[in-house]
Structure 1
Amino acid sequence: MTLKDRVKQATAEQPAAEPSTDLATQDPTLAWLERRKSLIARALPAHIDEGHFIEAALTSMGKLRNCDTNTIYTALMACARFGLAPDGVRAAIVPFGKTATFVPMYQGLIDVMHRSGKVRAIRVDFICTNDLWEYTPTDPSPKDFFHKPRVELPKEERGDVLLAYAYAWMEGGSRSQVVLLNRQDAIEIRDLYSKAYAYAESTGKRDSAWHTNFDQQWAKSCVRRLAKLVPTSPELVTLLQADVDADEGRPHIITSLAADPAPEQTDPGSSDQPATTWPAAAQPGSGRPDQDGGDEQ
Structure 2
Amino acid sequence: MALTTLRDRVLANITQQQAPATGGRPAPASPTTGEAPSPAAPATLEEAAADGDAVQESADAVLDWLRRYEGHLTDALPRGVEVGPFLAAVRNRLPELRSCNPASVLQATLTAARFGLVPDGRLATITNEFGRAVFIPTYRGFVELWERTDRVASVRCGMVFEGDEYSYEPSAPAPLDFTHKQDPARKDRGRPLFAYAFVWKTDGHRSQVVTVNREEMEEIRDRWSRAYVEAELTGAKDSTWHTDELAMWQKTAIKQLEKVVPVSPEVRALLDVDRAGEEGRVQLLHAPDPEAAALTAEADQAAEAAEAAQDQAPAGLPRKRAGLKRNQPKRTTRAARKGRGRRS
TM-score interval (norm. to shorter): 0.7 to 0.9
Q: C-alpha displacement at 1:61, in angstroms?
A: 1.5
Paired with 2:217 and 2:154, the residues of 1 have a C-alpha distance of 24
Q: Which residue of 1 aligns with 2:107?
A: 74
1:132 maps to which of 160, 165, 168: 165
Q: Which residue of 1 aligns with 2:145?
A: 112
Distance 1:123 1:25, change over 3 A: closer
Paired with 1:177 and 1:26, the residues of 2 have a C-alpha distance of 46
1:179 maps to which of 210, 218, 232: 210
Paired with 2:179 and 2:160, the residues of 1 have a C-alpha distance of 10
Q: C-alpha displacement at 1:152, in angstroms?
A: 2.8
Q: Is the 8 A contact 1:33 1:58 kept in 2?
A: no
Q: C-alpha displacement at 1:206, in angstroms?
A: 1.2
Q: Is the 8 A contact 1:122 1:168 kept in 2?
A: yes
- Which protein shows a greater Rg? 2
Name the SS of the counterpart of 2:110 in structure 1: helix
Name the SS of the counterpart of 2:259 in structure 1: coil
The answer as to 2:200 corresponding to 1:169 is yes
Distance 1:190 1:95, change over 3 A: same
Q: C-alpha displacement at 1:49, in angstroms?
A: 4.3
Q: Which residue of 2 aligns with 1:214?
A: 245
Q: Which residue of 1 aligns with 2:269?
A: 238
Distance 1:141 1:25, change over 3 A: closer
Q: Is the 8 A contact 1:119 1:170 kept in 2?
A: yes
Name the SS of the counterpart of 1:254 in structure 2: helix
Q: C-alpha displacement at 1:186, in angstroms?
A: 1.5
Bigger mean CA offset, 74-83 vs 158-167: 158-167
Q: Is the 8 A contact 1:78 1:252 kept in 2?
A: yes
User: TM-score when scaled to structure 1?
Assistant: 0.72
Q: Which residue of 1 aligns with 2:40?
A: none
Q: Is the 8 A contact 2:76 2:110 kept in 1?
A: yes
2:79 maps to which of 46, 64, 71: 46
Paired with 1:139 and 1:119, the residues of 2 have a C-alpha distance of 22
Distance 1:250 1:206, change over 3 A: same
Q: Which residue of 2 aligns with 1:121?
A: 154
Paired with 1:48 and 1:114, the residues of 2 have a C-alpha distance of 17
Name the SS of the counterpart of 2:285 in structure 1: coil
Count matched residues: 234
Deviations 1:195-251 (A, max 9, x none): 111111111111111111111111111011013322211111111110110011112
Q: Is the 8 A contact 1:119 1:231 kept in 2?
A: no
1:141 maps to which of 170, 174, 183: 174
The answer as to 2:231 corresponding to 1:200 is yes
Paired with 2:167 and 2:255, the residues of 1 have a C-alpha distance of 23
Alignment of 1:147-166 (within 5 A): 147-153=180-186, 155-156=187-188, 158-166=189-197
Name the SS of the counterpart of 1:58 in structure 2: helix
The answer as to 2:88 corresponding to 1:55 is yes
One-letter identity of the residue aligned with 2:119: P
Tell me how large the CA RMSD over aligned residues is. 2.3
Q: C-alpha displacement at 1:194, in angstroms?
A: 1.6
Q: Is the 8 A contact 1:100 1:251 kept in 2?
A: no
Q: C-alpha displacement at 1:39, in angstroms?
A: 4.0
Paired with 1:183 and 1:152, the residues of 2 have a C-alpha distance of 25
Q: Is the 8 A contact 2:129 2:239 kept in 1?
A: no
Q: Which residue of 2 aligns with 1:65?
A: 98
Q: C-alpha displacement at 1:175, in angstroms?
A: 0.6
User: TM-score when scaled to structure 2?
Assistant: 0.63
Distance 1:30 1:253, change over 3 A: closer
Bigger mean CA offset, 136-145 vs 94-103: 94-103
Q: Is the 8 A contact 2:73 2:83 kept in 1?
A: no
Distance 1:51 1:27, change over 3 A: closer
Q: Which residue of 2 aligns with 1:92?
A: 125
Paired with 1:98 and 1:210, the residues of 2 have a C-alpha distance of 18
Name the SS of the counterpart of 1:227 in structure 2: helix
Distance 1:84 1:214, change over 3 A: same
Q: Which residue of 1 aligns with 2:256?
A: 225
Paired with 2:154 and 2:69, the residues of 1 have a C-alpha distance of 36
